[in-house]
A and B are shown apart, each in its own frame.
Chain A
Amino acid sequence: MHARRPLVGLLNNPVVPSVIRYAPNLVEYIDVIPDRLWYDFEHGEVKGGRFHRVTGAIEELRECARGRVLGGHGIGLSLPSAIPMDMAMVAEAASLARELNFQWYSEHLSMFLVSHGSVPNSQAGLGLPVAYDEELFDLVKDKLTVLKAAFGCDLLLENGAIFTPVPDTEMTEPEFLNRLYSELGCGTLLDLHNLFVGLANGVLSPLEYLEELNPDCVQEIHLAGGHELAGFYTDAHSGLTPGEVWSWAHKFGPRFKNLRAIVFEFHESYFDRLGLSGIAAELERMHELAQAVAPMAQTV
Chain B
Amino acid sequence: MLVEFQQALADLVESPELCRQIRADPTRLQQKYDLSTREYDRLVKMVNQKAMACNCMLYRANRLAPLALNLPDSCRMLGPRLGPLLSEYSLLYPNTNVHFYLECDRFCRFILGKIEQGLDFDSHARAVFDAEHARIKVGLVASYTAL
Contact = CB atoms under 8 A, between A and B. Distances in A.
Interface of A: 35, 39-42, 46-48, 52-56, 76, 81-83, 111, 114-117, 120-126, 128-129, 131, 135-136, 139, 163-164, 166-168, 201, 203, 229-230, 232, 234, 269
B42 A168 contact: yes
B38 A39 contact: no
B98 A76 contact: yes
Contact of A168 (B5, B13, B41, B55): B41
Interface residues of B, number: 43
B107 to A, nearest CB: 15
Nearest to A120: B98
A114 B147 contact: no
Nearest to A269: B69
Contact of B57 (A39, A230, A269): A230
B10 A128 contact: yes
B95 interface: yes
Contacts of B24: none
A48 B143 CA distance: 11
B2 to A, nearest CB: 4
Interface of B: 1-3, 5-7, 9-11, 13-14, 38-39, 41-42, 45-46, 49, 51-55, 57-59, 61-63, 69, 94-99, 101-102, 143-147
Contacts of A56: 146
Contacts of A55: 146-147
28 contacts: A39-B101, A42-B98, A48-B147, A54-B146, A55-B146, A76-B98, A81-B6, A82-B3, A83-B3, A111-B6, A114-B7, A120-B98, A123-B95, A123-B98, A124-B10, A125-B63, A135-B2, A139-B2, A163-B49, A163-B51, A163-B52, A163-B54, A163-B58, A230-B53, A232-B53, A232-B57, A234-B58, A269-B69
Given A135-B2, A166-B42, A128 B99 contact: no
Given A120-B98, A126-B59, 11 more contacts: A39-B143, A47-B144, A54-B143, A111-B10, A116-B10, A124-B10, A128-B6, A131-B42, A135-B2, A136-B2, A163-B58
A46 to B, nearest CB: 6
A203 B50 CA distance: 11
Given A166-B46, A234-B54, A39 B10 contact: no
Contacts of A124: 10, 13, 59
A126 B13 contact: yes
B54 A232 contact: yes
Nearest to B39: A131
Nearest to A56: B146
Contacts of B13: 124-126, 128
A40 B9 contact: no
A126 B58 contact: yes
B68 to A, nearest CB: 9
Contact of A128 (B38, B55, B94, B101): B55
Nearest to B9: A128
A270 B39 CA distance: 39
Contacts of A111: 6, 9-10
B57 A229 contact: yes
Q: Of residues B13, B55, B101, which shows the largest number of chain A Cβ atoms within 10 Å of its Cβ?
A: B55
Contacts of A122: 95
Nearest to B48: A164
Contacts of B147: 48, 52-53, 55
